[in-house]
Chains A and B, each alone.
Chain A
Amino acid sequence: MTGETLVYKRPETLIKDKGFTFCPGCGHGVVLKIIAELIDEFGIRENTIAISSVGCSIFLEKFYELDVAGASHGRSPCVATGIKRSLPDKFVFTYQGDGDAATIGFNETIHTACRGEKITTICINNTTFGMTGGQASATTLVGQVTTTTPRGRKAELTGYPLRVAETVANCEGAAYVARVAISSPKYIKQAKKAIRKAFEMQLKGLGYSFVEVIAACPTNWHMTPVECIDYIENTVEKVHKLGVFKDITEGENI
């Protein structure tokens, strides 16, 4: 029909006619779509290798028209390191959750950042082990009810949540570190901007880039998606504060 303007089309990086298989209100689909859009925008689909990790983040090859390598729990940055060192011209990113990147694999996250590996990590932080049914992770808030903290996380018993982005930002090899949310259209735009910046860091060979995305897990939080938005904005963000914690190009026009 004449007079129609194409304002949006499904990213080519997403497999055609295949929907996401996440729970209603889950944050993964939003972030996976942002990544797919950016890979399209940068025109790097055929030059990208993605690393899936253990958790709800594992099914990349089911959604993406990309080469995908799998990793054991927490080891995605190591697999990414091996790939990037073997094929330095490829665009390499890991897609991980907080159970993976911040709990079992935090040592790997930190060392990969310190080495300044020229890869990108997108870490979905929903403050719980989603796939195994909602147990407490390293980022679970004090007071948060999970299946392993049924009376709420008690600091005197299990300590305090790990501030992932802030800690990664302390590593000298990290070029860009940010924490974003996707609980509103405005936040989704900001998240895309941050992930774009993280991708640019790698494409320009500037170092390790890490974007933590606060996302909802309605199933394990036992909330409706709308309640999750309120919980993120009024509770989670008080502990896991949004912001850019490191940007070695700050003030530069890269």
Chain B
Amino acid sequence: MTKVLWKGNQAIAQAAINAGCKCYFGYPITPQSEIGEYMGDKMPELGRTFITAESELASISMVIGAGTTGTKAMTSSSSCGIALMQEAMSAMCCAEVPGVIVSVMRGGPGLGNIASAQGDYFQAVKGGGNGDYKVIVYSPATIQEAIDLMYRAFHVSMKYRNPVMLLADGILGQMMEPVEFGQYPYKDDDVSIWALSGAKGRTPRNIVSLHMADGELEKISDRIFEKYRIIAEKETIVDKFMTDDAELIVTAFGTTARIAKSAVKKARKAGMKVGLFRPVMLSPFPEKELFETAKSAQMILDIELNQGQMLLDVKASVFGACPVEFLGRSGGGLLTDTQMLEKITALYNKIGVKV
């Protein structure tokens, strides 16, 4: 199969179609509007559903509706729009409703700007919804990976009946790269054992998130957190680059990790033993994998396009095995590999030096 040049947002949309997404519900917001535009063009032609909803509150609730019937459905949005979906994502986790959410981050807080940023790590990974729950979050660094992770997002969402988010950013959404689509590689589970379909010849089912009976909610909470433990064990993906002998390990996700990789390569050329640890699944966070990797290093440098969000998960995972430093930039500006290399070099020279 030959590679073809695709824009990130459109590739994400086509990947969803290939994954068997039957319903797209969304509300326009920069920098991800091409996803909705692409779906508005393709989905009706395929006899599938496309609706521009009245708000993000509505679009995610439409995803819930489709999800309760075991139908593959998605929405996409950006920062402030994703904020409006948080209540529903909490409800989806409680009621165990599948659905895929694409979040293409822009600058924040507030309406912020439309530049690329990573300020929505907390929003995606910790969530702003109420109660104990976790959205499963994947973070692509290339458009090819965005396609592959969209396939995985639909499969994992249906398998575990939990919302799955693809957390991209403005750069990934807007840029073009050569990609290969390939076939949807997963065999999905049978939904007929749990989905709503009208109670024909069976006991009626309900998929709701209010559980008032004594002890009922606690049971659900324990069950879904057992599920998250299994997901962490079975579904975690990390990308490690030259970490085996590294004295300094850079942690970064998404687009920033891609730039960091070239900084790491330059550092290696300059004779420094530096590696890159990139969590591809951000939630549940790959704590064990990072701890094991950090044990043999002297220092961690976490780099993000925010004021230090994944940093907290990195510190918690490293758990004092070595010091953790941070390089960040917020508000829509980028960090170049040269700026990263400067910081890496300065920190590397401090390793082993007593102050």
Question: A and B bound?
Answer: yes
Q: Which residues of A contact B (CB under 8 A)?
A: 45-49, 51-52, 58, 60-61, 64-72, 74-75, 78-87, 90-91, 107-108, 110-111, 115
CB-defined contacts of A51 to chain B, threshold 8 Å: 65
Interface class of chain B by DSSP: mixed
Q: Are B209 and A66 in contact (CB under 8 A)?
A: no
- The residue on A at minimum CB distance from B49 is A85
Contacts of A69 in B (CB 8 A): 64-65, 68, 196, 206-208
Residues from chain A with Cβ under 8 Å of B348 in the complex: none
Seen from chain B, the residues whose Cβ lies within 8 Å of a Cβ on chain A are: 22-23, 25, 49, 51, 53-55, 57-59, 61-69, 71, 73, 87-88, 91, 95, 196-201, 204-210
21 intermolecular pairs with C-beta atoms under 8 Å apart: A45-B199, A46-B200, A48-B198, A58-B210, A61-B204, A67-B199, A68-B207, A72-B91, A78-B57, A82-B62, A82-B65, A83-B65, A83-B66, A85-B49, A85-B65, A86-B69, A87-B69, A90-B197, A91-B198, A108-B57, A111-B58
Contact B95 A70 (CB under 8 A): yes
Closest CB-CB distance, A68 to chain B, in whole Å? 4
State in angstroms the CA–CA spacing of A45 and B59 once bound together: 28
Nearest-Cβ distance from residue A202 to partner chain B, whole angstroms = 14
**In the docked arrangement, what's the CA distance between A46 and B206, Å?**
14
A109 to B, closest residue via Cβ: B54
Contact of A86 among B23, B199, B210 (CB under 8 A): B23
Cα separation A84 to B59 with both chains bound (whole Å): 14
Establish whether residues A78 and B62, one from each chain, have CB atoms under 8 Å apart when the complex forms: yes
Minimum C-beta distance from B76 to chain A (A): 15
Q: Which of B58, B88, B95 has the most CB of A within 10 A?
A: B58
Q: Which of B22, B69, B201 contacts A83 (CB 8 A)?
A: B69
Asked whether A86 lies within 8 Å of B91 as measured between CB atoms, the reply is no
Q: Which 6 A-B pairs have the closest CB atoms?
A: A82-B65, A70-B208, A78-B61, A75-B61, A61-B206, A86-B71
A49-B69, A71-B61, A110-B54 provided; 4 other pairs, C-beta below 8 A? A47-B198, A70-B208, A72-B88, A75-B88
Whether A79 lies near B62 (C-beta < 8 A) is yes
Q: In the complex the two chains form, what is the Cα distance from A243 to B347 in whole Å?
A: 77
Most buried by B among A65, A74, A80, A81: A81
A82 near B205 with CB under 8 A, answer no
Q: Which residue of A lies closest to B203 (CB)?
A: A65
A80 to B198, CA, bound (A): 13
Measured CB to CB, the nearest residue on chain A to B209 is A70
Q: Which residues of A contact B200 (CB under 8 A)?
A: 46-47
User: Whole-angstrom distance from the CB of B150 to the nearest CB of chain A?
Assistant: 20
On chain B, the residues within 8 Å of A80 by CB distance are 65
- Taking a contact as CB atoms under 8 Å apart, the answer to whether A67 and B71 are in contact is no
A246 and B25 CA atoms in complex are apart in Å by 28
User: Do B206 and A67 touch (CB < 8 A)?
Assistant: yes
> Which residue of A51, A69, A71 has the most chain B CB atoms within 10 A of its CB atom?
A69
Known A-B contacts A79-B68, A85-B51, A111-B58; A90 and B198 likewise in contact (beta carbons under 8 Å): yes
* B23 / chain A contacts, CB cutoff of 8 Å: 82, 85-86
> Closest residue of chain B to A89, judged by CB?
B198
A111 to B66, CA, bound (A): 18
- Taking a contact as CB atoms closer than 8 A, the residue among A45, A64, A75 that contacts B58 in the complex is A75
Given A67-B205, A86-B23; A79-B198 close (CB under 8 Å): no
User: Which residue from chain A places its CB closest to the CB of B207 in the assembled complex?
Assistant: A69
Interface centre among A65, A70, A80, A86 (most CB of B within 10 A): A86
Also in contact, A75 and B57, with CB within 8 A (given A83-B196, A115-B51): yes
Asked whether, in the complex, the Cβ of A83 is within 8 Å of the Cβ of B199, the reply is no
B66 with A86: CB separation less than 8 A: yes
A83 to B58 Cα, complex, angstroms = 13
Residues of B within 8 A of A66 (CB): 199, 204
B205 / chain A contacts, CB cutoff of 8 Å: 67-68
Which residue of chain A has its CB nearest to the CB of B94?
A70
Q: Which listed residue, A45, A58, A67, A79, touches B61 by the CB 8 Å rule?
A: A79
A79 to B71, CA, bound (A): 13
Known contacts A75-B88, A82-B23, A107-B55; is A70 also within 8 Å of B63 by CB? no
A64 to B205, alpha carbons, bound, how many Å?
10
The reply to whether B66 and A85 form a contact with Cβ atoms under 8 Å apart is yes
- Tell me how far the C-beta of A140 lies from the nearest C-beta in chain B, rounded to whole angstroms: 23
- Chain B residues positioned under 8 Å from A115 (CB to CB): 51
Residues from chain A with a CB closer than 8 A to the CB of B58 are 75, 78, 107-108, 111
B204 touching A64, Cβ below 8 Å: yes
Q: Chain B residues with Cβ under 8 A from A71's Cβ?
A: 61, 64
Q: Is the CB of A70 within 8 A of B198?
A: no
With A46-B200, A69-B196, A115-B51 in contact, is A52–B61 under 8 Å at CB? no
Residue from B61, B66, B208, B209 having most chain A Cβ neighbours under 10 A:
B61
Nearest CB of chain A from residue B166's CB, rounded to whole Å:
20
- In the complex, A58 Cα to B209 Cα: how many Å? 10
B62: chain A residues at CB < 8 Å are: 78-79, 81-82, 85
CA distance A46 to B87 in the complex (A): 31
Chain B nearest CB from A94 CB (Å) reads: 10
